[in-house]
Protein backbone atom coordinates (compact mmCIF):
# COMPACT_ATOMS: atom_id res chain seq x y z
CA UNK A 1 0.00 0.00 0.00
CA UNK A 2 0.91 3.64 -0.36
CA UNK A 3 0.36 6.14 2.39
CA UNK A 4 0.52 9.94 2.42
CA UNK A 5 1.19 11.85 5.62
CA UNK A 6 0.29 15.53 5.60
CA UNK A 7 2.55 17.57 7.91
CA UNK A 8 6.20 16.56 8.38
CA UNK A 9 6.55 17.87 11.92
CA UNK A 10 7.13 16.32 15.33
CA UNK A 11 4.37 13.76 14.78
CA UNK A 12 4.06 13.32 11.01
CA UNK A 13 7.72 12.63 10.34
CA UNK A 14 8.23 10.02 13.08
CA UNK A 15 4.97 8.31 12.04
CA UNK A 16 6.10 8.34 8.41
CA UNK A 17 9.42 6.79 9.26
CA UNK A 18 8.11 3.96 11.45
CA UNK A 19 5.66 2.99 8.68
CA UNK A 20 8.37 3.25 6.00
CA UNK A 21 10.73 1.13 8.08
CA UNK A 22 8.09 -1.59 8.09
CA UNK A 23 7.84 -1.73 4.33
CA UNK A 24 5.06 0.78 3.57
CA UNK A 25 5.70 3.31 0.80
CA UNK A 26 5.24 6.64 2.54
CA UNK A 27 5.04 10.07 0.97
CA UNK A 28 5.44 13.02 3.30
CA UNK A 29 3.55 16.17 2.29
CA UNK A 30 4.43 19.59 3.67
CA UNK A 31 3.71 23.19 2.68
CA UNK A 32 7.19 24.28 3.79
CA UNK A 33 9.68 23.82 0.91
CA UNK A 34 12.62 23.73 3.33
CA UNK A 35 11.03 20.81 5.19
CA UNK A 36 10.34 18.95 1.93
CA UNK A 37 13.94 19.52 0.83
CA UNK A 38 15.37 18.37 4.17
CA UNK A 39 13.29 15.19 4.33
CA UNK A 40 14.07 14.43 0.68
CA UNK A 41 17.78 14.53 1.58
CA UNK A 42 17.10 12.19 4.50
CA UNK A 43 17.56 14.94 7.05
CA UNK A 44 15.44 15.92 10.03
CA UNK A 45 14.73 19.62 10.58
CA UNK A 46 14.57 19.25 14.39
CA UNK A 47 16.23 17.24 17.19
CA UNK A 48 14.58 14.06 18.43
CA UNK A 49 16.52 11.05 19.72
CA UNK A 50 16.90 8.18 17.19
CA UNK A 51 14.82 9.97 14.53
CA UNK A 52 17.64 11.20 12.27
CA UNK A 53 19.16 7.78 11.66
CA UNK A 54 15.73 6.28 10.95
CA UNK A 55 14.85 9.01 8.44
CA UNK A 56 18.12 8.80 6.52
CA UNK A 57 17.73 5.00 6.39
CA UNK A 58 14.12 5.11 5.15
CA UNK A 59 14.94 7.70 2.47
CA UNK A 60 18.02 5.75 1.34
CA UNK A 61 15.90 2.59 1.04
CA UNK A 62 13.44 4.48 -1.16
CA UNK A 63 10.52 3.92 1.21
CA UNK A 64 10.13 7.54 2.31
CA UNK A 65 9.94 10.59 0.07
CA UNK A 66 8.63 14.12 0.48
CA UNK A 67 6.67 16.51 -1.70
CA UNK A 68 4.60 19.68 -1.54
CA UNK A 69 1.92 18.31 -3.90
CA UNK A 70 -0.77 16.01 -2.52
CA UNK A 71 -0.23 12.59 -4.16
CA UNK A 72 -2.71 9.78 -4.71
CA UNK A 73 -2.54 7.12 -2.01
CA UNK A 74 -4.50 4.34 -0.33
CA UNK A 75 -4.51 6.11 3.01
CA UNK A 76 -3.93 9.67 4.22
CA UNK A 77 -2.84 10.71 7.70
CA UNK A 78 -3.32 14.35 8.69
CA UNK A 79 -0.69 15.51 11.20
CA UNK A 80 -0.79 19.30 10.88
CA UNK A 81 -0.81 21.79 13.76
CA UNK A 82 -4.04 22.90 15.46
CA UNK A 83 -2.91 26.14 17.10
CA UNK A 84 -5.32 28.41 18.82
CA UNK A 85 -6.97 31.64 17.85
CA UNK A 86 -6.83 34.83 19.92
CA UNK A 87 -10.10 33.84 21.59
CA UNK A 88 -8.66 30.47 22.68
CA UNK A 89 -10.67 28.40 20.25
CA UNK A 90 -9.00 25.95 17.91
CA UNK A 91 -7.70 27.17 14.58
CA UNK A 92 -8.70 24.38 12.20
CA UNK A 93 -7.51 26.10 9.03
CA UNK A 94 -4.55 23.73 8.54
CA UNK A 95 -6.76 20.68 9.09
CA UNK A 96 -9.37 22.01 6.68
CA UNK A 97 -6.73 22.85 4.06
CA UNK A 98 -5.32 19.32 4.35
CA UNK A 99 -8.79 17.74 3.98
CA UNK A 100 -9.52 19.90 0.95
CA UNK A 101 -6.23 18.96 -0.70
CA UNK A 102 -6.86 15.29 -0.06
CA UNK A 103 -10.44 15.41 -1.38
CA UNK A 104 -9.69 15.51 -5.14
CA UNK A 105 -7.23 12.61 -4.80
CA UNK A 106 -9.61 10.22 -3.05
CA UNK A 107 -10.71 6.94 -4.60
CA UNK A 108 -13.25 4.50 -3.28
CA UNK A 109 -11.82 2.46 -0.39
CA UNK A 110 -9.36 5.13 0.80
CA UNK A 111 -8.78 5.85 4.49
CA UNK A 112 -8.38 9.35 5.99
CA UNK A 113 -7.03 9.58 9.54
CA UNK A 114 -6.79 12.75 11.61
CA UNK A 115 -3.91 12.61 14.12
CA UNK A 116 -3.81 16.30 15.04
CA UNK A 117 -5.24 17.11 18.47
CA UNK A 118 -8.64 18.62 17.74
CA UNK A 119 -11.84 19.78 19.44
CA UNK A 120 -14.83 17.43 19.57
CA UNK A 121 -16.57 17.24 16.21
CA UNK A 122 -13.50 17.86 14.01
CA UNK A 123 -13.39 14.35 12.51
CA UNK A 124 -17.03 14.78 11.51
CA UNK A 125 -16.12 18.12 9.89
CA UNK A 126 -13.40 16.45 7.82
CA UNK A 127 -16.03 14.17 6.29
CA UNK A 128 -18.20 17.24 5.62
CA UNK A 129 -15.37 19.22 3.98
CA UNK A 130 -14.47 16.26 1.79
CA UNK A 131 -18.11 15.49 1.04
CA UNK A 132 -18.71 19.06 -0.16
CA UNK A 133 -15.93 18.70 -2.75
CA UNK A 134 -16.70 15.09 -3.67
CA UNK A 135 -20.46 14.59 -4.02
CA UNK A 136 -19.63 11.46 -6.03
CA UNK A 137 -18.29 9.69 -2.92
CA UNK A 138 -20.55 8.30 -0.19
CA UNK A 139 -19.25 9.59 3.16
CA UNK A 140 -19.41 7.43 6.29
CA UNK A 141 -22.32 8.12 8.66
CA UNK A 142 -23.06 6.59 12.01
CA UNK A 143 -25.36 3.59 11.69
CA UNK A 144 -25.05 3.43 7.91
CA UNK A 145 -23.01 0.97 5.90
CA UNK A 146 -21.58 1.11 2.42
CA UNK A 147 -19.46 4.26 2.62
CA UNK A 148 -16.88 4.82 -0.14
CA UNK A 149 -14.19 6.21 2.14
CA UNK A 150 -13.28 5.73 5.79
CA UNK A 151 -12.63 8.61 8.22
CA UNK A 152 -11.20 8.23 11.73
CA UNK A 153 -9.34 10.06 14.49
CA UNK A 154 -6.22 8.52 15.98
CA UNK A 155 -4.73 11.12 18.30
CA UNK A 156 -0.98 11.10 18.74
CA UNK A 157 0.18 10.68 22.35
CA UNK A 158 3.97 10.55 22.09
CA UNK A 159 6.18 12.47 24.48
CA UNK A 160 8.77 14.78 22.86
CA UNK A 161 12.20 13.36 23.72
CA UNK A 162 10.80 9.80 23.67
CA UNK A 163 8.83 9.92 20.43
CA UNK A 164 10.50 6.98 18.68
CA UNK A 165 9.98 4.69 21.67
CA UNK A 166 6.45 5.80 22.56
CA UNK A 167 5.32 5.72 18.92
CA UNK A 168 5.82 1.95 19.03
CA UNK A 169 4.96 1.08 22.63
CA UNK A 170 2.02 3.36 23.51
CA UNK A 171 -1.54 2.08 23.33
CA UNK A 172 -3.48 3.83 20.54
CA UNK A 173 -7.03 5.08 20.54
CA UNK A 174 -8.72 4.87 17.12
CA UNK A 175 -12.13 6.51 16.84
CA UNK A 176 -14.10 6.05 13.64
CA UNK A 177 -17.09 7.88 12.23
CA UNK A 178 -18.41 4.31 11.91
CA UNK A 179 -17.20 1.02 13.36
CA UNK A 180 -15.85 0.06 9.96
CA UNK A 181 -13.89 3.35 9.77
CA UNK A 182 -12.20 2.56 13.10
CA UNK A 183 -11.33 -0.95 11.95
CA UNK A 184 -9.89 0.25 8.63
CA UNK A 185 -7.82 3.00 10.31
CA UNK A 186 -6.58 0.55 12.97
CA UNK A 187 -5.09 -1.61 10.21
CA UNK A 188 -2.53 1.16 9.56
CA UNK A 189 -1.41 1.31 13.19
CA UNK A 190 -1.23 -2.48 13.50
CA UNK A 191 1.72 -2.30 11.09
CA UNK A 192 3.98 -0.88 13.80
CA UNK A 193 2.17 -0.46 17.13
CA UNK A 194 3.12 -2.91 19.86
CA UNK A 195 0.70 -1.37 22.34
CA UNK A 196 -2.98 -2.19 22.31
CA UNK A 197 -5.24 -0.55 19.73
CA UNK A 198 -8.49 0.58 21.30
CA UNK A 199 -11.40 1.08 18.90
CA UNK A 200 -14.07 3.67 19.66
CA UNK A 201 -16.13 6.44 18.05
CA UNK A 202 -14.51 9.62 16.74
CA UNK A 203 -15.90 12.02 19.37
CA UNK A 204 -14.74 9.81 22.26
CA UNK A 205 -11.26 9.64 20.74
CA UNK A 206 -11.15 13.42 20.33
CA UNK A 207 -12.25 13.97 23.90
CA UNK A 208 -9.93 11.30 25.36
CA UNK A 209 -6.91 13.05 23.88
CA UNK A 210 -7.93 16.45 25.25
CA UNK A 211 -8.69 14.97 28.64
CA UNK A 212 -5.23 13.34 28.83
CA UNK A 213 -3.50 16.68 28.44
CA UNK A 214 -5.95 18.53 30.70
CA UNK A 215 -5.31 15.86 33.36
CA UNK A 216 -1.59 16.58 33.23
CA UNK A 217 -2.16 20.35 33.26
CA UNK A 218 -4.43 20.15 36.31
CA UNK A 219 -1.90 17.98 38.12
CA UNK A 220 0.98 20.32 37.34
CA UNK A 221 -1.19 23.25 38.50
CA UNK A 222 -1.74 21.42 41.77
CA UNK A 223 2.03 21.07 42.23
CA UNK A 224 2.53 24.75 41.33
CA UNK A 225 -0.09 25.86 43.84
CA UNK A 226 1.49 23.72 46.57
CA UNK A 227 4.79 25.36 45.69
CA UNK A 228 3.34 28.86 46.20
CA UNK A 229 1.84 27.85 49.52
CA UNK A 230 4.97 26.17 50.90
CA UNK A 231 7.10 29.10 49.72
CA UNK A 232 4.95 31.52 51.71
CA UNK A 233 5.27 29.27 54.78
CA UNK A 234 9.07 28.83 54.34
CA UNK A 235 8.69 25.09 53.82
CA UNK A 236 10.69 23.25 51.16
CA UNK A 237 8.24 22.13 48.47
CA UNK A 238 10.50 19.35 47.18
CA UNK A 239 10.75 17.79 50.60
CA UNK A 240 6.96 17.99 51.04
CA UNK A 241 6.30 16.35 47.65
CA UNK A 242 8.94 13.69 48.23
CA UNK A 243 7.29 12.73 51.50
CA UNK A 244 3.68 12.92 50.27
CA UNK A 245 4.57 10.78 47.26
CA UNK A 246 5.54 7.94 49.59
CA UNK A 247 1.81 7.45 50.17
CA UNK A 248 0.66 4.53 47.98
CA UNK A 249 -2.07 6.57 46.24
CA UNK A 250 -0.36 9.97 45.92
CA UNK A 251 1.77 10.98 42.95
CA UNK A 252 2.28 14.75 42.86
CA UNK A 253 4.04 16.14 39.79
CA UNK A 254 6.82 18.72 39.87
CA UNK A 255 6.31 22.45 40.21
CA UNK A 256 8.25 24.55 37.74
CA UNK A 257 8.43 27.92 35.98
CA UNK A 258 5.28 27.18 33.98
CA UNK A 259 3.80 24.78 31.48
CA UNK A 260 5.02 25.03 27.90
CA UNK A 261 5.06 23.14 24.64
CA UNK A 262 2.42 23.32 21.96
CA UNK A 263 0.00 20.82 23.51
CA UNK A 264 -0.62 21.06 27.24
CA UNK A 265 -1.01 24.86 27.40
CA UNK A 266 -3.44 24.74 24.44
CA UNK A 267 -5.56 21.60 24.53
CA UNK A 268 -7.40 22.27 27.82
CA UNK A 269 -8.82 25.43 26.25
CA UNK A 270 -10.52 23.28 23.59
CA UNK A 271 -12.43 21.60 26.41
CA UNK A 272 -13.25 24.94 28.02
CA UNK A 273 -14.48 26.26 24.67
CA UNK A 274 -16.73 23.23 24.22
CA UNK A 275 -18.31 23.57 27.69
CA UNK A 276 -17.36 26.94 29.22
CA UNK A 277 -19.77 26.86 32.15
CA UNK A 278 -18.83 23.32 33.14
CA UNK A 279 -15.04 23.62 33.27
CA UNK A 280 -13.98 25.91 36.16
CA UNK A 281 -11.29 23.50 37.39
CA UNK A 282 -9.65 23.07 33.98
CA UNK A 283 -9.75 26.81 33.34
CA UNK A 284 -8.31 27.66 36.75
CA UNK A 285 -5.50 25.13 36.30
CA UNK A 286 -4.59 26.87 33.04
CA UNK A 287 -4.58 30.24 34.80
CA UNK A 288 -2.48 28.93 37.70
CA UNK A 289 0.11 27.55 35.26
CA UNK A 290 0.07 30.65 33.05
CA UNK A 291 0.78 32.79 36.12
CA UNK A 292 3.97 30.82 36.97
CA UNK A 293 6.47 32.67 34.76
CA UNK A 294 5.33 35.97 36.32
CA UNK A 295 5.81 34.59 39.80
CA UNK A 296 9.31 33.29 39.01
CA UNK A 297 10.32 36.61 37.43
CA UNK A 298 9.00 38.52 40.47
CA UNK A 299 11.03 36.28 42.79
CA UNK A 300 14.17 36.93 40.76
CA UNK A 301 13.59 40.69 40.83
CA UNK A 302 13.18 40.45 44.61
CA UNK A 303 16.49 38.57 44.99
CA UNK A 304 18.19 41.12 42.74
CA UNK A 305 17.38 43.92 45.21
CA UNK A 306 20.13 42.61 47.50
CA UNK A 307 22.77 43.62 44.94
CA UNK A 308 23.79 46.98 43.55
CA UNK A 309 24.68 45.75 40.06
CA UNK A 310 23.94 42.05 39.93
CA UNK A 311 24.67 39.70 37.06
CA UNK A 312 22.00 37.07 36.59
CA UNK A 313 22.52 33.69 34.90
CA UNK A 314 19.43 31.93 33.55
CA UNK A 315 20.03 28.29 32.71
CA UNK A 316 17.68 26.68 30.20
CA UNK A 317 15.48 28.22 27.51
CA UNK A 318 13.55 25.29 26.02
CA UNK A 319 10.02 24.35 27.08
CA UNK A 320 11.28 21.33 29.01
CA UNK A 321 14.38 19.28 29.74
CA UNK A 322 16.52 17.60 27.08
CA UNK A 323 14.65 18.88 24.01
CA UNK A 324 15.59 21.74 21.66
CA UNK A 325 12.06 23.12 21.29
CA UNK A 326 11.59 26.73 22.45
CA UNK A 327 7.96 27.11 21.32
CA UNK A 328 5.66 28.24 24.15
CA UNK A 329 8.59 28.02 26.52
CA UNK A 330 7.93 29.33 30.02
CA UNK A 331 11.69 29.78 30.46
CA UNK A 332 11.72 32.29 27.61
CA UNK A 333 8.77 34.10 29.11
CA UNK A 334 10.57 34.29 32.46
CA UNK A 335 13.72 35.68 30.82
CA UNK A 336 11.67 38.28 28.90
CA UNK A 337 9.93 39.38 32.09
CA UNK A 338 13.21 39.67 34.01
CA UNK A 339 14.87 41.54 31.17
CA UNK A 340 11.98 43.98 31.12
CA UNK A 341 11.82 44.43 34.90
CA UNK A 342 15.60 44.86 35.27
CA UNK A 343 16.70 46.71 32.11
CA UNK A 344 20.07 47.69 33.59
CA UNK A 345 21.06 44.24 34.78
CA UNK A 346 23.26 41.90 32.71
CA UNK A 347 21.48 38.63 32.09
CA UNK A 348 23.49 35.68 30.80
CA UNK A 349 21.59 32.84 29.14
CA UNK A 350 22.82 29.29 28.66
CA UNK A 351 21.22 26.30 27.02
CA UNK A 352 23.11 23.37 25.45
CA UNK A 353 20.23 22.88 22.97
CA UNK A 354 19.95 26.51 21.83
CA UNK A 355 22.78 28.10 19.82
CA UNK A 356 21.69 31.69 19.48
CA UNK A 357 19.35 34.12 21.19
CA UNK A 358 15.78 33.03 20.36
CA UNK A 359 13.92 35.57 18.23
CA UNK A 360 11.31 36.13 20.95
CA UNK A 361 14.07 37.70 23.06
CA UNK A 362 15.83 39.72 20.39
CA UNK A 363 14.22 42.98 21.56
CA UNK A 364 16.21 43.09 24.83
CA UNK A 365 19.72 44.56 24.87
CA UNK A 366 20.67 43.23 28.32
CA UNK A 367 20.63 39.54 27.30
CA UNK A 368 23.60 37.48 26.09
CA UNK A 369 24.13 33.79 25.34
CA UNK A 370 27.03 32.20 27.20
CA UNK A 371 28.39 28.77 28.04
CA UNK A 372 26.72 27.46 31.18
CA UNK A 373 29.91 27.34 33.22
CA UNK A 374 31.01 30.85 32.25
CA UNK A 375 27.53 32.20 32.96
CA UNK A 376 27.45 30.62 36.41
CA UNK A 377 31.01 31.74 37.10
CA UNK A 378 30.18 35.38 36.41
CA UNK A 379 26.73 35.48 38.01
CA UNK A 380 25.61 36.69 41.42
CA UNK A 381 22.22 35.07 40.97
CA UNK A 382 21.79 31.71 39.23
CA UNK A 383 18.28 30.78 38.06
CA UNK A 384 17.73 27.24 36.86
CA UNK A 385 14.77 27.25 34.47
CA UNK A 386 15.16 23.89 32.69
CA UNK A 387 16.69 20.78 34.25
CA UNK A 388 18.77 19.74 31.21
CA UNK A 389 20.95 16.74 32.03
CA UNK A 390 24.27 18.65 31.61
CA UNK A 391 23.18 21.28 34.15
CA UNK A 392 22.87 18.74 36.94
CA UNK A 393 26.65 18.46 37.27
CA UNK A 394 26.98 22.19 37.94
CA UNK A 395 25.60 22.09 41.45
CA UNK A 396 28.43 20.59 43.50
CA UNK A 397 31.33 22.71 42.46
CA UNK A 398 30.17 26.01 41.11
CA UNK A 399 27.35 27.49 43.12
CA UNK A 400 29.07 28.36 46.39
CA UNK A 401 28.43 31.92 47.57
CA UNK A 402 25.80 32.66 44.91
CA UNK A 403 22.09 33.23 45.27
CA UNK A 404 20.53 30.15 43.68
CA UNK A 405 16.93 29.89 42.50
CA UNK A 406 16.30 26.34 41.34
CA UNK A 407 12.77 26.40 39.86
CA UNK A 408 12.91 22.69 38.96
CA UNK A 409 14.33 21.13 42.09
CA UNK A 410 17.22 19.70 40.07
CA UNK A 411 19.96 20.70 42.51
CA UNK A 412 18.37 19.44 45.67
N1 LIG B 1 6.03 20.09 33.51
C2 LIG B 1 6.09 20.55 34.82
N3 LIG B 1 6.02 19.63 35.82
C4 LIG B 1 5.90 18.30 35.60
C5 LIG B 1 5.82 17.83 34.28
C6 LIG B 1 5.90 18.76 33.25
O7 LIG B 1 6.21 21.76 35.06
O8 LIG B 1 5.86 17.56 36.58
C9 LIG B 1 6.09 21.04 32.39
C10 LIG B 1 7.24 20.78 31.42
O11 LIG B 1 8.43 21.37 31.86
C12 LIG B 1 6.71 21.40 30.15
C13 LIG B 1 5.21 21.13 30.23
O14 LIG B 1 4.94 20.86 31.60
O15 LIG B 1 6.91 22.80 30.13
C16 LIG B 1 4.74 19.96 29.39
O17 LIG B 1 5.69 18.90 29.40
P18 LIG B 1 5.28 17.36 29.42
O19 LIG B 1 6.53 16.57 29.43
O20 LIG B 1 4.31 17.11 30.51
O21 LIG B 1 4.43 17.14 28.11
P22 LIG B 1 4.68 17.43 26.53
O23 LIG B 1 4.03 18.74 26.21
O24 LIG B 1 6.08 17.24 26.14
O25 LIG B 1 3.82 16.21 25.91
C26 LIG B 1 2.46 16.03 26.31
C27 LIG B 1 2.26 14.55 26.71
N28 LIG B 1 0.95 14.39 27.33
C29 LIG B 1 0.80 13.75 28.53
O30 LIG B 1 1.72 13.33 29.17
C31 LIG B 1 -0.62 13.58 29.02
C32 LIG B 1 2.40 13.67 25.48
O33 LIG B 1 2.11 12.32 25.79
C34 LIG B 1 1.44 14.17 24.37
O35 LIG B 1 1.56 13.39 23.20
C36 LIG B 1 1.81 15.60 24.05
O37 LIG B 1 1.61 16.40 25.21
C38 LIG B 1 0.92 16.07 22.93
O39 LIG B 1 1.42 16.20 21.80
O40 LIG B 1 -0.27 16.28 23.15
Per run of 10 residues, the mean pLDDT along the chain (length 412 residues) is 96 97 97 97 91 96 97 98 90 98 98 97 98 96 90 95 95 97 98 97 98 98 98 98 98 98 94 97 98 98 96 98 93 98 97 96 96 96 97 82 95 88
Chain mean position to CA 176:
24
Q: Closest Cα to residue 192, out of 349, 363, 348, 54?
A: 54
Closest Cα to atom 26, ligand 1: which residue?
Answer: 159
Q: What pLDDT sits at residue 142?
A: 82
Ligand 1 surroundings by CB, under 6 angstroms: 117, 156-160, 212-213, 216, 220, 253-254, 256, 259-261, 263-264, 319-320, 330
Q: CB neighbours of 196 closer than 8 A, spacing ≥ 6?
A: 171, 172
Q: Is the fold of 2-210 the same as that of 237-406?
A: yes
Ligand 1 centroid to residue 217 C-alpha, Å: 8
209 is catalytic: yes
Return the CATH architecture of domain 237-406. Answer: 3-Layer(aba) Sandwich (3.40)
Q: What pLDDT sits at residue 401?
A: 87
Chain segment 363-385, per-residue pLDDT in tens: 999 999 999 999 999 999 999 99
263 is catalytic: yes
Phi and psi, residue 66, nearest 5°: -135, 150
Q: What pLDDT sits at residue 396?
A: 66
Atom of ligand 1 nearest to the CA of 158: 35
ipTM of the shown complex? 0.98
Ligand 1 centroid to residue 159 C-alpha, Å: 7
Atom of ligand 1 nearest to the CA of 166: 33
Ligand 1 centroid to residue 264 C-alpha, Å: 6
pTM: predicted TM-score of the whole model, two decimal places: 0.94
CB neighbours of residue 104 within 10 Å:
11
- The superfamily CATH assigns to domain 2-210 is NAD(P)-binding Rossmann-like Domain (3.40.50.720)
Closest Cα to atom 32, ligand 1: which residue?
Answer: 159
Ligand 1 centroid to residue 26 C-alpha, Å: 29
- Delimit the domains of the chain by residue range: 2-210, 237-406
Q: What pLDDT sits at residue 1?
A: 87
Amino acid sequence: GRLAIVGMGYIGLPTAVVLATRGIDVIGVDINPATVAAVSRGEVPFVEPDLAVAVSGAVAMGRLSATSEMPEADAFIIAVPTPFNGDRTANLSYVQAAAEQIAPKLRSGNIVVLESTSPPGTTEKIAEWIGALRPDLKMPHDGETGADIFVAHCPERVLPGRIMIEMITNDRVVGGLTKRCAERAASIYRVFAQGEILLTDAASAEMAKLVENAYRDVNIAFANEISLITESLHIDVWEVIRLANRHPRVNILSPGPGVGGHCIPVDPWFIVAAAPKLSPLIRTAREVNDRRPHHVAEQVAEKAKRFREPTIACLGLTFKANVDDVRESPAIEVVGLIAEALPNVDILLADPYVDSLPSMLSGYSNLRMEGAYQAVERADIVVLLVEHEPFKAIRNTRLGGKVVYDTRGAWR
